[in-house]
Every structure is written in structure tokens, then in C-alpha cells.
Amino acid sequence: MAEELKVIVFTLAHEEYGIEVDKVRTIERMVPITRVPKTPAFVKGVINLRGVVIPIIDLRGRFGLPESEPTENTRIIIVAANDLEVGFIVDSANDVVDIMSDTIGVPPEVVGGIKAKYLSGVAALGDNRLLILLNLSEVLNRSEIIQLEQMGD
């Protein structure tokens, strides 16, 4: 029996990606980010969101895509991964879709220049759309999570 997944759809470099709704805490407009020294280039810094310090990652930089200037559509998706809240900068976040688990296929080795290890699957939506599902545990690998946890201290 196929399960139904609720997924938040966001865009990066004209491709559509998805994160399961139950992993997303909130979606915020772009805010000023405080830079933190000695972090990887894709870690943009931290924000203070309602009293909680949250590390912010530029997903374009994380995936080796060209960076772009924020626009009025740029969003920060706050996700919970392994008891850590992290914000992902994305080009836009504009949709919630239901996906049946049996429509999710194995991702090819590289999708839009992004290595398959960062992806959990590719879902076929109607109207010839493919939705690339993120593998949050790989997007935030163990050593990076430790580094990000220390940023909040």
C-alpha cells in the first residue's frame, strides 16, 4: 500500500526540489545573516529567529550551484535534522504537494549537477514535472552537524 507524503516544493536554479513537511519547522523571508568565521563557504552564518540561534546554509553553495543574489522570492526554510534546526536559503518556496510513495524513483547519479547522495528520490508529478527529494541526513552530514551545533553555543 503506497503512503502519501506531504512535501514542500522549493526551487533552486530553476529545478524543483522537495522536503517532507514533517521535517520543516517554518518558512521565513530573507533576513540579515550574521557571518560566522571559519565555516565552510556554503554556511552563510546564523540568524536569531524568535530567540533561537539558527545556522543558515545556502543550498546553492552546498550543491555547487552558482550563487545568486537574494530576490523578494528568496526564502529560508527552517528544517529539523537530528535535533538541530538549520535554515536553507532557497530561490523560492511556493507549494505543498501530496506524493504517493510508489511514484518516487531512485535518483540518477547526478541531477541538475547535484550528486545523488544528497537526494532521496525523484517523484513524478503530473504535467511532466519531476520533483527532486532531498536526503537531509546527507545534505547535513555528521561532521557538519557537529560544526553547526557548536555555532549555536
Cα dihedral value 42, 145, 72, 14, nearest 10: 70
Predicted confidence at residue 112, as pLDDT, reads 54
Predicted confidence at residue 29, as pLDDT, reads 96
Q: Residue 133 in contact with residue 118, Cβ under 8 Å? A: no
The Cβ of residue 36 has, within 10 Å, a number of other Cβ atoms equal to: 16
Q: Where are the alpha helices (DSSP H) in 81-131?
A: none
CA atoms within 13 A on the CB side of 149: 12
pLDDT of 105-119, one tens digit each? 887 665 555 566 778
Predicted confidence at residue 98, as pLDDT, reads 92
- Compute φ and ψ for 112, nearest 5 degrees: 55, 30
Where residue 61 falls (left for φ over 0; alpha for ψ -120 to 50; beta otherwise) is alpha
pLDDT of 75-106, one tens digit each? 999 998 777 889 999 999 988 999 988 888 88
Predicted confidence at residue 144, as pLDDT, reads 63
From first to last of the 153 residues of the chain, give the pLDDT tens digit: 678 889 999 999 888 999 999 999 999 999 999 998 888 888 899 999 999 999 999 999 888 888 899 999 999 999 987 778 899 999 999 889 999 888 888 876 655 555 667 788 888 887 788 888 988 877 776 566 566 666 555
Predicted confidence at residue 118, as pLDDT, reads 75
CATH number where 45 lies: 2.40.50.180
Domain with 81, as residue range(s), is: 4-151
Amino acid sitting at position 7: V
Domain total for the chain?
A: 1
